[in-house]
Amino acid sequence: MALFRLSRAVEPEPRLRGDGVYLRPAAVMDFSAWSLLREASRSFLTPWEPTWADDELSRASYRRRVRRQAEEMARDESYAFLIFETGSDRLLGGLTLGGIRRGVSQTATLGYWMGAAHAGKGHMSRAVGVVGRWSFQSLRLHRLEAACLPENIASRTLLERNGFTREGLARSYLKINGAWRDHLLYGLIETEVGRLV
């Protein structure tokens, strides 16, 4: 039975496709586009992310990131994707299904970021829909979880638009921008897949 399997290593499709977007694992060739977008979006992302390391945008740091992500995918621990615009192939942001727990849980935590120039245009809503369906159908997960700062209205709206249910408040949940912050907790279960954008 799928519910009790301890591990399910899945090779992600080279591209997960949605309406106007596609997602694929990061590659070394993406460094320039990734570093330029992250740098241009630094002030936009800073309030919502952990403090960046001094070498955050270096080529060496990026290569380590790509290698670690490939290893985590091979171990069925985490699946990280970059989000691109269909047609232009322009990098828009990133999305990760992390902290995958198998056994009786079959759960993953959803995290995401969008470049400042591309925010508020529906790209992330569609990307979450694509990855959500893939996680239930291909990874055979039962539940997706996500958390966001209470004042992050855009993130709350994104999750609610995709059918996630607000389930509570976790006190001092994640260290964001140098401080331990409370987060709203959201969840979506496999029987609710039809709610995804």
Residue 80 lies in a domain: yes
Q: What are phi and psi of 146, to 5 degrees?
A: -150, 155
User: Tell me: the pLDDT tens digits for 47-95?
Assistant: 999 999 999 999 999 999 999 999 999 999 999 999 999 999 999 999 9
Q: What is the pLDDT of residues 98-146, one digit of tens each?
A: 999 999 999 999 999 999 999 999 999 999 999 999 999 999 999 999 9
157 belongs to a structural domain: no
- Number of residues in the chain: 197
Q: Is there a domain that residue 83 lies in? A: yes
DSSP state of 31: H
Task: Dump the DSSP string for 136-147.
Answer: HHTS--SEEEEE
The pLDDT of residue 5: 46
Count: domains in the chain: 1
- pTM score, whole prediction: 0.92
Q: Is residue 164 part of a domain?
A: no
- The sheet with strand 165-176 has its strands ordered as 16-17, 21-24, 79-85, 91-101, 107-114, 143-148, 179-189, 165-176
**Is 104 inside any structural domain?**
yes
Whether 163 maps to a domain, the answer reads no
Distance (Å, rounded) from C-alpha 121 to C-alpha 127?
12
Per-residue CA distances from 5 to 34, 166, 191 (Å):
35, 28, 19
Domain extent, residue 60, equals 2-141
Domain membership of residue 180 (yes or no) is no
Q: Assign residue 42 the CATH number of its domain.
A: 3.40.630.30
- Please calculate the CA angle 183-189-194 and round it to the nearest 5 degrees: 115
